């Protein structure tokens, strides 16, 4: 991964540049004043992946120069990662370095942490690992009070858990989210809180039922359920669907159904063009879907989903790519007006940012 240069003294100026860019990029639309949500200046990233570099018996984290896989720099500090990760990552490497079982052909270390202090570490190898590795890895687990997963080709070794449980306060209520190793989670937890609270506020008077595409493990789904009579959420990843079902139960949410189906197929189901066995028993016909929530990947919404989204009175669009958001808005604003536009600085010190747009039918 490329590590941004963390310069807290320059944060305000960099954020102002992003704001100005968004205002210029979306100037063709009738947008309201931007709502800006800042990131913590340091220790904001809850998950991170680091390549390792072997030099004899030495072992270090490295970062590659952008666009150059042959030029790298040794990593000696990393103020972007959460304090929990930073407190462990270098001491962990000190324990791995002299241990042949743990060090040999280790090529990557992944970290997943939470605001509540849990930490999961995945060690990735270019060799077979087995029980001898597990014996040494358990010592690491006990020393640092962490969960550890070992990965090699066609092999995954769990010492205990392959997930963490995030405890996130949202508008005064604490939600628990199961976050599974090697699946998508929001990297900046503090900004994620702001995103959820913004979505709650934007949709507070929507009423009716909510349909959600790309729900992941239900990070938005669980809190937003309070604004609607019923929520039907879709997700294609089996791991994320299982995590979402766990999150429904642990948070005592009783008005959410999660279906494992792609957004494209679900759009066709709602339009009556497709029947899927997984949809049986949901009684979709009885739903009054006033609002749709979409949080698509960087590619944005496909054409069929855009047309389906236009059918709803309210559209809540969370975007990780302003370029594809702009493209989708060119079509969505033919039928809807932009009521609110938020910028979430999920990735400070980089050009990346997330946007939230709330639209209502003209």
DSSP letter (8 states) at residue 145: T
Q: Which helix (H) or strand (E) holds 261?
A: none
Cα–Cα nearest to 38, from 219, 175, 204, 198: 198
Choose among 297, 281, 300, 294: nearest CA to 356: 294
Tell me the C-alpha distance between 341 and 261, whole Å.
29
Tokens of 175: 């939600």
Active site residue 160: no
Q: Pairing relation of β-strands 68-74 and 106-113?
A: unpaired
Query: Residue 69 half-sphere exposure, CB side, CA atoms within 13 Å?
Result: 1
Catalytic residue (choose from 42, 320, 323, 355)? 320
Interatomic CA distance for residues 187 and 115, integer angstroms: 11
Q: How far apart are CA 276 and CA 257, in angstroms?
A: 15
355: annotated active-site residue = no
Of 30, 34, 23, 19, nearest to 330 by C-alpha is 30
Residue environment code for 323-359, b if the CB has 16+ CB neighbours within 10 A, otherwise e: ebbbebbeebbeebebebbbbbbbbbbeeebbbbbbb
Of the residues 78, 287, 354, 355, only one is catalytic, namely 354
Phi, psi of 101 (to 5 degrees): -65, -35
Catalytic residue numbers? 320, 354
């Amino acid at each position: 991964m490329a590590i941004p240069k963390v310069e807290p003294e320059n944060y305000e100026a960099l954020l102002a540049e992003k704001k100005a860019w968004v205002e210029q990029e979306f100037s063709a639309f009738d947008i309201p004043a931007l709502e800006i949500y800042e990131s913590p200046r340091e220790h904001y990233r809850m998950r991170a992946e680091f390549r390792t570099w072997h030099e004899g018996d030495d072992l270090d984290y490295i970062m590659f120069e952008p666009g150059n896989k042959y030029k790298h720099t040794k990593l000696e500090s990393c103020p972007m990662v959460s304090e929990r990760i930073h407190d462990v990552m270098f001491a962990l490497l000190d324990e791995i370095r002299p241990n042949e079982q743990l060090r040999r052909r280790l090529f990557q270390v992944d970290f997943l942490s939470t605001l509540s202090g849990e930490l999961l570490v995945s060690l990735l190898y270019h060799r077979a690992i087995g029980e001898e590795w597990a014996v040494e890895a358990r010592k690491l687990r006990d020393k640092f009070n962490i969960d550890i997963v070992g990965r090699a080709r066609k092999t995954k070794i769990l010492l205990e858990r392959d997930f963490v449980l995030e405890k996130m306060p949202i508008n005064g209520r604490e939600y628990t989210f199961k976050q599974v190793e090697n699946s998508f989670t929001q990297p900046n937890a503090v900004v994620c809180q702001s995103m959820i609270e913004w979505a709650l506020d934007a949709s507070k008077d929507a009423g009716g039922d909510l349909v959600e595409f790309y729900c992941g493990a239900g990070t938005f789904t669980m809190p937003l359920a309070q604004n609607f009579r019923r929520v039907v959420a879709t997700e294609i990843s089996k791991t994320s669907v299982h995590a979402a079902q766990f999150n429904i139960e642990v948070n005592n949410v009783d008005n959410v159904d999660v279906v494992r189906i792609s957004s494209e197929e679900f759009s066709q189901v709602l339009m009556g063009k497709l029947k899927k066995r997984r949809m049986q028993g949901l009684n979709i016909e009885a739903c009054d879907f006033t609002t749709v929530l979409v949080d698509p990947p960087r590619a944005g919404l496909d054409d069929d989903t855009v047309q389906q989204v236009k059918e709803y009175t309210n559209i809540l669009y969370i975007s990780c790519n302003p370029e594809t958001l702009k493209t989708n808005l060119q079509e969505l604003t033919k039928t809807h007006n932009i009521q609110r536009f938020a910028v979430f600085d999920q990735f400070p010190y980089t050009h990346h940012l997330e946007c939230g747009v709330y639209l209502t039918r003209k």
